[in-house]
């Protein structure tokens, strides 16, 4: 089984692969390739790009995203006064890997480790590859809450995370992108610089 797992890792080392691509590259059955890829993803050895293709995960690429993103998330929270989060894709879900809460009493709280649906929210749009520079959502996941997210890309241009700011509509308004897009884009650029510098 270890040999089969290594063959999966070898296959994605050069390029992102779909499940069908993994099957073709490794010669494994579809069920075995899927089971191994999902297990390797859970342990951080594989990840997914914005298109859902398998790529090497953070434990192999040496990217400690939460630690690298923290200064940018602090700056984003301070600049906007709202809660800031960092999400990564985990299959058909998104996982919160870093979160800083707004100082306001009424605020969005997303705990680290929380798994959310990929099909709703601005971060979901980013991680699905459906956003350009940034995306916004208004009451998609939770009533009374709006958010703005931007993609964090690796050196190859693949989306590896989504950085977000979220808060109650009474402060964010129903056009949160107009208010926060620039700050979120700055945070994404800051994280990317931190990643490239090591």
Instruction: Give CA angle at 177 (191, 133), nearest 5°.
Output: 50
Please name the residues in contact with 138: beta carbons below 8 A apart, sequence gap of 6 or more. 146, 169, 174, 176
| Model pLDDT for residues 142-164, shown as the tens digit of each residue | 999 999 999 999 888 889 899 99
Cα gap 53→12, rounded to integer Å: 9
Domains of the chain, CATH where assigned: 2-61 (1.10.10.10), 65-196 (3.30.450.40)
| Model pLDDT for residues 12-53, shown as the tens digit of each residue | 876 788 999 999 999 999 999 999 998 898 887 888 876 788
Helix, strand, coil shares of the chain, percent, nearest 5, are 40, 25, 35
- 54 in helix, strand or coil? strand
**Predicted structure pTM score:** 0.71
């Amino acid at each position: 089984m270890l040999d089969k797992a290594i063959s999966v890792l070898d296959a994605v080392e050069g390029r992102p692969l779909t499940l069908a691509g993994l099957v073709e590259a490794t010669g494994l059955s579809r069920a075995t390739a899927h089971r191994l890829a999902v297990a390797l993803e859970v342990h951080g050895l594989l990840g997914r790009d914005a298109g859902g293709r398998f790529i090497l995960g953070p434990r192999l690429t040496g990217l400690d995203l939460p630690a690298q993103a923290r200064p940018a998330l602090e700056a984003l929270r301070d600049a906007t006064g709202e809660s800031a989060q960092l999400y990564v894709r985990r299959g058909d879900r998104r996982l919160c890997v870093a979160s800083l809460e707004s100082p306001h009493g009424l605020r969005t709280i997303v705990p680290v480790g929380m798994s959310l649906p990929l099909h709703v929210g601005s971060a979901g749009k980013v991680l699905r590859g459906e956003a350009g520079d940034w995306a916004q959502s208004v009451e998609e996941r939770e009533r009374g809450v709006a958010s703005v997210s931007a993609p964090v890309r690796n050196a190859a241009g693949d989306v590896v995370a989504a950085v977000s700011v979220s808060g109650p509509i009474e402060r964010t308004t129903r056009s949160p992108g107009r208010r926060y897009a620039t700050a979120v884009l700055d945070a994404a650029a800051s994280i990317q610089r931190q990643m490239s510098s090591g």
